[in-house]
Chain A
Amino acid sequence: QLQLQESGPGLVKPSETLSLTCAVSGGSISSSSHYWVWIRQPPGKGLEWIGSFYYTGTTYYNPSLKSRVTISADMSTNQFSLKLSSVTAADTAVYYCAQYQLLNRWFDPWGQGTLVTVSA
């Protein structure tokens, strides 16, 4: 059964770079049938898609974050990562990683999420 697990610092200072990793088990991020995505949810608010990564290196980013976001992957460790630069308090959120199935276009499964707080 596919499982995803986010990890990374829970506290980041303003203007610095947020870095998270998603470890995938029970499946391969080299799959041609899936993208690997990051989604975030500010406390008490809704969901925002951040971006997607395909094993060929193709990426898609939300235009609202595009200038600050990089999603990459390490095939040898079956992990993919999120970097968000120049963070502000508005970037405080629970960050989820998830698998995106190309055929039916769904996000499933999701990781448990990790809270990142931006504060000095």
Chain B
Amino acid sequence: EIVMTQSPLSLPVTPGEPASISCRSSQSLNSKGNNYLDWYLQKPGQSPQLLIYLGSNRASGVPDRFSGSGSGTDFTLKISRVEAKDVGVYYCMQALQTPYDFGQGTKLEIK
């Protein structure tokens, strides 16, 4: 089983400021040139929604304020300018192999 570790677990951000979330996996998520790492956002009272897939690809409809980077075992989700509608819990997830494992979640709140 691959263990996913996110930091920080709580992230207070001033609107308009950038934010960054780190995700580390216990083994490399790279296979044949692809990094099998997804990012999801769970807004309050809602189901999780896909933000980023294969480490750095924005899902359809996701604003370009969101970007994913990283390779191997270290990944980062960045929000260039946080808006009030970005509040919620952000999860990384390894999609390399079953069992698919999620990080603990990072709760982003507005200062």
Chain A interface residues toward B at CB < 8 A: 46-49, 52, 60, 62-64, 96, 104-108, 110-113
Contacts and interface: CB of A to CB of B under 8 A. Distances in A.
B99 A63 contact: yes
B65 to A, nearest CB: 19
What's the interface size class on B, roughly? 20 to 34
Interface in B69-110: 91, 93, 95, 98-105
Contacts of A63: 1, 99
Nearest to B1: A63
B66 interface: no
A96 B59 contact: no
A107 B39 CA distance: 10
A55 B49 CA distance: 24
A46 B102 contact: yes
